[in-house]
Amino acid sequence: MKEYSGIVVRSTGSSCNVLNSEGNVLECRLKGNFRIKGIRSTNPLAVGDMVKYIIGQGEKVGLINAIEPRHNYIIRKATRLSKQSHIIAANIDQAIVMVTLASPRTSTGFIDRFLVTAEAYHIPAMLIFNKSDLINGGELIKLNKLIELYEGLGYTCFRTSALKGSGIDEVKALLKDKVSLISGHSGVGKTALINAIEPGLLRKVGEISGYHQKGKHTTTFAEMMPLSFGGFIIDTPGIKEFGLTDFDKQEIAERFPEMRQLMHQCQFNNCTHVHEPGCAVKAALAKGHISQSRYANYISIQNDEYFDEADYSGTQ
């Protein structure tokens, strides 16, 4: 039997959809009790996985017999206390967080948790500030300051209005030939953006997946969509938190680029940058070289319930 290769574009656990090199999508199942070494996951396959499969003459469903090694993947714990995790997506080139200062307003806490997680996975991250058509006056000043802050930290920022079509070409250039994960609160405009980038894409994907979307995704599974101009976009509907990774508390400061630069100058090498004397991070904060909101979110992330569990490090 001939072997084919393809990329997983939808995975529901028991079966998945694979896009093959001819551009066709077909349903595949995993062979037997296939296990990937070292990963305790509720779903052995995730969108973005490159697979090999065989399919019998006249058969409708393919059989996956190999998964290419992942160059990265992002996970979510099945539950907070669970040792098992759910793989959201694999082989991601960049992670985009879509935010807005209009409604539903995105907090910097949400933004910074997203960025910290992307840093932990070494996935380049960028921000899209959507609904720019609704921002003016004092809010525009706040938006400019936020963009200045994040650009200054090395995160590319885009301003878009998915509704009016502004900033869309810049986003298309960003997405071209890359696998991009897009995340953000429900209602910020992810669907509107995808529609602006490629009209009809969501409908097409919906038809292939065999479910009908009445303007809204009802699924909680990540969906990977091929872009006609090259590249893939992964929408993560229903996935509230991008984070919950397997890194521990001591690593958090390293995931803040502005702290990473300074932390080696602290008097104590196990400095938590909270109350210790001779802390280079606190000194930079006092001088205004580190933003108040970034520092506050660093403290807040340190206090996240997630990190109270002693049991997490090393488990996936």
Binding mask 211-250 for ligand GDP (x = CB under 6 A): ----------------------------------------
Taking the C-alpha atoms of residue 215 and residue 237, their distance in angstroms, rounded to an integer, is: 13
Contact flag: residue 236 with Mg ion (CB under 5 A): no
Q: Of 161, 153, 148, which is closest to residue 112 (Cα–Cα)?
A: 153
For the CB of residue 197, give the shortest distance to ligand GDP in the complex, in Å.
12
- Which phi and psi (to 5°) does residue 159 adopt? -110, 125
Q: Specify the residue, 166 or 261, whose C-beta has the smaller distance to Zn ion.
A: 261
CB-based contact 201:229 (threshold 8 Å) = no
Which amino acid type is present at position 14?
A: S
Give CA 125 to chain center in angstroms: 8
Say which residue the tokens 């960028």 belong to. 126
DSSP string across 183-197: E--TTSSHHHHHHHH
Query: Hey, is 271 helix, strand or coil?
Result: coil
The residue from 123, 192, 201, 296 that contacts ligand GDP (CB under 6 A) is 192
Give φ, ψ of 162 to 5 degrees.
Answer: -60, -30
Locate 84 and state its tokens. 């098992």
Residue 27 contact, options Zn ion, Mg ion, ligand GDP, none, Cβ 5-8 Å cut-off depending on partner type: none
Question: Segment contacting ligand GDP (CB under 6 A): 71-79, 161-169, 203-211, 258-266?
Answer: 161-169
Q: Which does 133 bind (CB under 5 to 8 A by kind): ligand GDP, Zn ion, Mg ion, none?
A: ligand GDP
Q: Is 161 in the site for Mg ion (CB under 5 A)?
A: no
Q: How far apart are CB 266 and Zn ion at their closest, in Å? A: 3
Three-state SS at 16: strand
Site for ligand GDP contains 284 (CB under 6 A): no
Among Zn ion, ligand GDP, Mg ion, none, the one that 161 touches (CB under a kind-dependent 5 to 8 A) is ligand GDP
Residues that bind Zn ion (CB under 5 A): 266, 271, 273, 279, 281
Residues that bind ligand GDP (CB under 6 A): 130-131, 133-134, 161-163, 184, 186-192
